[in-house]
Amino acid sequence: MQISQTRPQITYAAALALVEAALTHARDNGWEVAVAVTDPFGTLVAFGRTDGAAPPVAAFAVDKAYTAGTLRKSTRAFGERMAASPTLSLGLATRQRFITWGGGLAVFEAGACIGGLGVSGAQEHEDIACAEAAIRALGLTHG
């Protein structure tokens, strides 16, 4: 019987690089966002925001990263799954931190989920574009 397991996790340096890459993409496009990166267990590793980001979007970004990292899928995919079933949607209302808006991506390295990246503050497709650009910039993949 195996007693413990090892699970890859994003480093602080890589998490910070993701935040910076997402913020750069947002600034280049004139978007005001907050960006968060969690490890695969949902613990915040790095955070940043543009100066004009609205205060509530910080928590949304953290929750998007939490949702994507712990579920190992995008928040958009999670939202589509929840919308497909009335009973699943009802259950979601009782769960804290899970969010179904696009902008959260699971971050993968060599097939392993190493964390979650959440971007919030712009339009949904713009949040997603920031997250995808950041992950590409580091040569990682997303789910």
From first to last of its 143 residues, the chain has per-residue pLDDT tens of: 999 989 999 999 999 999 999 999 999 999 999 999 999 999 999 999 999 999 999 999 999 999 999 999 999 999 899 888 888 777 777 788 999 999 999 999 999 999 999 999 999 999 999 999 999 999 999 99
pTM of the model: 0.95
Residue ranges of domains in the chain, CATH in brackets: 12-142 (3.30.450.150)
- Find all residues with CB under 8 Å of 68, minimum gap 6, and list them: 74, 75, 78, 104, 105, 106, 107, 116, 117, 118, 143
The helix or strand, by DSSP H or E, that contains position 13, with its residue range, turns out to be: helix 12-29
Copy the structure tokens of residue 20.
């910076």
